[in-house]
Chains A and B, each alone.
Chain A
Amino acid sequence: DAGVIQSPRHEVTEMGQEVTLRCKPISGHNSLFWYRQTMMRGLELLIYFNNNVPIDDSGMPEDRFSAKMPNASFSTLKIQPSEPRDSAVYFCASRGMVYNSPLHFGNGTRLTVT
């Protein structure tokens, strides 16, 4: 089991540029979550999908953020245009169908916007 795979591990970009973060969930998992970690807010839920369908995107901070899950094995989180305050570590996590089964996290993408 390869676990949740995120790419890239590090991303450095300039303000105004588009950033795309990628996630491959664990095979067979039907729920996928995007979180952002900051010192002030800890692990903040941005959006989650069940069976590739976005269920709750109330945590997405602004219209500059968007997420897609075109199939069961791939999801993207896009920021356009990026701003310095978007600098954080972004985590993707997936979970199986059993209610309240634990989330399995990837190793995150550290985003720095200068």
Chain B
Amino acid sequence: DQQVKQNSPSLSVQEGRISILNCDYTNSMFDYFLWYKKYPAEGPTFLISISSIKDKNEDGRFTVFLNKSAKHLSLHIVPSQPGDSAVYFCAASSTDKLIFGTGTRLQVFP
């Protein structure tokens, strides 16, 4: 039973445009959400997070939005750059456990 879902396995975006990656969750007890980025042959690295008491968190080109009523979060990357091409995982936690989604492969082309 997948508690954190990323329904788009891949996304292709032109350089300079906005990338929007989506994530849905089922457990209403989740109170903290994170996005990780993963390059090939490397481990995931932390990108940005948001607490359930907020609906938006911004860090440079990256913004995460949380819609608790819809149990949905999204990651916006503006402007997208070729170096952003990677697999992005969303994750959620309610205790010490961090539950990840299946990932979305983002490709940013020139």
Contacts and interface: CB of A to CB of B under 8 A. Distances in A.
A90 to B, nearest CB: 11
B41 A41 contact: no
Contacts, number: 54
A72 interface: no
A73 interface: no
Contacts of B46: 102-104
Interface stretch (B11-19, B78-86, B89-97): B89-97
Give the interface size class of chain B: 20 to 34
Interface string A20-59: 0000000000010101000011111100101000011000
Interface residues of A, number: 24
Interface of A: 4, 31, 33, 35, 40-45, 48, 50, 55-56, 91, 93, 100, 102-108
